[in-house]
């Protein structure tokens, strides 16, 4: 395994994108593809693809390109998607409830296995695969459910304390949807999700006067959603 210290979040994001493109190619029966073809087809950069992939091994064959299935398996394993990642939702308001049923959070390597809240009206509610428990029981919930990744869906003002409670309870990593600056604790990866960046992309395509730029929002992820 190469040294992955300090790998850029943008590279991780691109690896995910490449994997989706490859899965789409697999579904449509493509067996081999060059970096240039991959780039042309999904509006990516061929040199960027070669550079990114070269960091993690020697996947391409000069003049032949990549074996789609082999490279997809490599990326799948590199991204840790060949084993299960049970999820725990903290905060079962509107966002937490939506995420607990979100298809992409309940497909393949991921599955929501537990949820906590502090509202007595919500605690005890049966969500089908689990029952909402009280946030004070976090250590037991993490232990009982085997949850690995905590998903923070609490108000901004409660993000820090709940992140810390998750860490104390033994969670391995945290995905934070609360719009708050959360101070990291060493050893427990934290990713802050900012949904606004999607709006900024759309605003860009609409152009400075909203008359459109002719730019496309063609998106390699379009055709590879879990179904």
Q: Does residue 70 bind its own copies (CB under 8 A)?
A: no
> Got the DSSP string for 18-61?
HHHHHHHHHHTT--EE-HHHHHHHHT--HHHHHHHHHTT----B
Looking at the Cβ atoms of 24 and 133, the one nearer to its own copies is 24
Place of tokens 């997809």: 72
Which has the closest alpha carbon to 129: 150, 152, 106?
A: 106
Site for its own copies in 28-57 (CB under 8 A): 43-45, 48
Site for its own copies in 111-170 (CB under 8 A): 148-149, 156
The CA distances from residue 14 to 19, 32, 33, 166, 201, in Å, are 9, 20, 17, 28, 16
Looking at the Cβ atoms of 124 and 226, the one nearer to its own copies is 226
Q: Does residue 198 bind its own copies (CB under 8 A)?
A: yes
Q: Does residue 219 bind its own copies (CB under 8 A)?
A: yes
Q: Does residue 64 bind its own copies (CB under 8 A)?
A: no
Judged by CB under 8 A, the residue of 50, 85, 118, 134 near its own copies is 85
Stretch that binds its own copies, among 23-31, 122-130, 131-139, 195-203 (CB under 8 A): 195-203
């Amino acid at each position: 395994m190469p040294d992955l210290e300090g790998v850029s979040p943008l590279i991780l994001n691109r690896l995910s994108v490449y994997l989706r493109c490859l899965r789409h190619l697999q579904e449509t029966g493509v067996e081999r593809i060059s970096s240039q073809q991959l780039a042309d087809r999904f509006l990516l950069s061929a040199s960027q693809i070669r550079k990114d992939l070269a960091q993690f091994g020697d996947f391409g064959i000069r003049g032949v390109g990549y074996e789609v299935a082999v490279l997809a398996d490599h990326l799948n394993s590199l991204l840790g998607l060949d084993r299960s990642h049970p999820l725990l939702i903290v905060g079962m308001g509107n966002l937490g409830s939506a995420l607990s049923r979100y298809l992409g959070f309940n497909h393949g390597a991921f599955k929501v296995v537990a949820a906590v809240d502090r509202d007595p009206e919500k605690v005890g509610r049966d969500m089908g695969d689990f029952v909402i428990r009280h946030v004070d029981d976090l250590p037991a919930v993490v232990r009982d459910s085997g949850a690995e990744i905590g998903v923070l869906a609490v108000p901004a003002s409660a993000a820090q304390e709940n992140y810390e409670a998750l860490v104390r309870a033994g969670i391995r990593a945290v995905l934070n949807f609360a719009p708050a600056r959360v101070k990291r604790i060493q050893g427990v990866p934290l990713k802050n999700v900012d949904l606004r960046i999607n709006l900024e992309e759309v605003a860009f395509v609409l152009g400075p006067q909203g008359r459109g730029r002719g730019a496309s929002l063609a998106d390699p992820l379009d055709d590879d959603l879990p179904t």
